[in-house]
Amino acid sequence: MQKNINIQNKKARFQYEILDKYTAGIVLTGTEIKSIRSGKASITESFCEFSENGELFVVNMTIQEYAFGNYYNHKPKATRKLLLNKKELKKLNKAVQNTGLTIIPLRLFINDKGYAKLNIALAKGKKLFDKRETIKDRDNKRDLDRIKKIYK
């Protein structure tokens, strides 16, 4: 079992422009938290959406089945409820409905108390030319770092 769990969505910052960040708790069962603590989770293809009664759920988050679980084991791609304040939920719901933004998970981690938390972000999708600009900036930064390293 790993000591420090930090599962990140690396594609998110490339495909989306991050506008606002929040930290949310997740409602999990026993075998789900055990799988997360052993590092068997992925949030690369996941997103968040609201239900009819205003609750926020994460969809498509993969938590692999617990190896030592019996018939109480969980489904790997189930939707899981996120826990936020009412004020934050209303603000996010308003932004998603009015302006067409999306909510994506950025990082899954376990805090000091042992609870699984999910960093989510209100994001706007990037266009193709924005992605090309990001690639160009990354390449230029890499080249500059190489040149600095040579002349040190």
For residue range 11-20, list pLDDT tens digits in order: 888 889 999 9
Is residue 16 within 8 A of residue 123, CB to CB? The reply is: yes
Residue 127: pLDDT band (50, 70, 90) is confident
What CA–CA distance (Å, rounded) separates 59 from 63? 11
State what percent of residues in the chain have pLDDT above 70.
98
For residue range 64-96, list pLDDT tens digits in order: 888 887 777 888 888 999 999 999 999 999 999
- Kindly give, in sequence order, each residue whose CB lies less than 8 Å from that of residue 22, ignoring residues fewer than 6 positions away: 84, 88, 92, 119, 120, 121, 122
